Amino acid sequence: MNNLNEKEKMMSGEIYDAGDPVLVEERQKCKDLCFEYNHLLPSKIEDRKNIIKSLFGKTTDNFHIEQPFYCDYGYNIEIGENFYTNHNVVILDCAKVTFGDNVFIAPNCGFYTAGHPLDAERRNKGLEDAKPISVGNNVWIGGGCTILPGVTIGDNTVIGAGSVVTKDIPANVLAFGNPCKVVREI
């Protein structure tokens, strides 16, 4: 018998109820912090950094996240040294989202760990699952990319603009398209 609460189910990749009051409260707290972050003057860099440090599970001292920025929980996001995102990045971090060092993310990118059942009856009950996303070191993700649940992107890889990454992409390659495919080695 499964005695896990909904948050434990979410964190372990099992089907969980996204409408669970604890999860709703945690998402609301995160949305409030994102709102505060997105409404700070851009010149308030230290205040912005402090909000991200309180929101994310792991940060370094050297990172920059352009406004606006959105995430679901925050505590499932880990960033390495010299991390940069341009405007309008969304990270739905129902599962862990890990970024290595020297990761650069162009505008309008989304990292989505959440998935929903194909069966409409289960989906309409608010059930979902989540799979982690991992991005290696020295990765550049072009504008308008979508990274789907369970994807790993290897070190030194470039993902071309507009790509939809549905499967793992190895290290040291240029990949792009919908679905994203390796085009050549770097």
| Catalytic residue annotation | 116
C-alpha span between 88 and 161 (Å, rounded): 15
User: 23 CB contacts (<8 Å, ≥6 apart)?
Assistant: 6, 7, 10, 16, 17
DSSP annotation of 125 reads: T
C-alpha span between 14 and 130 (Å, rounded): 7
C-alpha span between 41 and 71 (Å, rounded): 19
Q: Is residue 70 within 8 Å of residue 47, measured between CB atoms? A: no
C-alpha span between 70 and 92 (Å, rounded): 8
